[in-house]
Amino acid sequence: MTAEQPTVGFVGLGNMGGRMTACVVRAGVPVLGFDTREGAAEEVGATAAPTAAAVVADCDIVALSLPDSSVVEAVVYSDPGFLEAIRPGQVIVDLSTSAPASTRRIAADLAGRGASYLDAGISGGAAAAEEATLTLMVGGDPAALEIARPVLDLFADKIFLCGDTGAGHTVKLLNNFLNAVTLSATAEVMVAAKKAGLDLKTVLDVVNASSGVSFASLNRFPKIIEGDYLKGGLTNTLMLKDVALYLDLAAELGVASLNAAGPVAAFGLARQLGYADEISNTVVDAIGDVSGGIRLHDPKGDPS
């Protein structure tokens, strides 16, 4: 790895990976990218690689942005060329939402080949990825983080070293569970406010100045009541998957999860009503559907 300019690769150029890659490219850093969707690399300004293994073979720092542990494991283990290309001094950064136990297994396998594996959960959604203002929660070797930091700084403005391998993905699951709880609960409250005939902007102003405030009430619902669902973020299917991963973690830790029923029901409902691949903010429409066909936004311009 050169001290001046390590070579950079991205595996997974979808909703988030594509946006992060574009940030790196805009900063003038060439990126070798792979995605199963043809043309994905070119769309974000990266050079297309034929396989994930080819990215690993040619790059010093490789970021993975994949849906979950099953996909990460498939990428790492299904093609023997991936592990064969791993070399000493290389840093692999897993930006996916993954199970910590899986993360630790992969990290151990890569360490045996002299490479470092950082688990780096991300938060902020598509908008933050576009604006290079993501938050990263990282687990792994601090020295490896310093090697990768100049690249990570190109799409994140807050990077927290959370502990050893697996700590980043653990913190990510904890954060995502809170996100699921507050988003689904706020969606329910806003449907109730609409049915009660209240002015929704006023309701949000009150909540955001009071004890019910959350990221959802501050950043999501002021847009949703105007008809902007902030498309491009985590889908209902992926949100439900993250809650399931949290429940697995809670069971592994022996922690009673008393608040999971709400988001499991809400995002499960959204999936069953046809919103599976829509942004998770549409959970409010799923709740509205079963509450009398309620929509927060009035196309005529009156959100109340």
pLDDT digits (tens, 9 = 90+) for 111-127: 999 999 999 999 988 88
Give pLDDT, residue 5. Answer: 81
Q: How confident is the model at residue 1 (pLDDT cuts 50, 70, 90)?
A: very low
Give pLDDT, residue 158. Answer: 97
Q: How confident is the model at residue 2 (pLDDT cuts 50, 70, 90)?
A: very low
Candidate list 158, 172, 201, 223, residue with the active-site label: 172
Give pLDDT, residue 34. Answer: 98
Q: How far apart are CA 74 and CA 53, in angstroms?
A: 12
Give pLDDT, residue 125. Answer: 84
Place of tokens 């209240």: 198
The structure's pTM equals: 0.91
172 included as an active-site residue: yes
Domains of the chain: 8-164 (3.40.50.720), 171-289 (1.10.1040.10)
Q: C-alpha distances in angstroms, 209 versus 184, 194, 204, 218, 257?
A: 20, 19, 8, 10, 29
What value does the mean pLDDT take over residues 8-15?
A: 96
Q: How confident is the model at residue 233 (pLDDT cuts 50, 70, 90)?
A: confident
Residue 135 burial (C-beta neighbours within 10 Å; 0-12, 13-18, 19+): middle
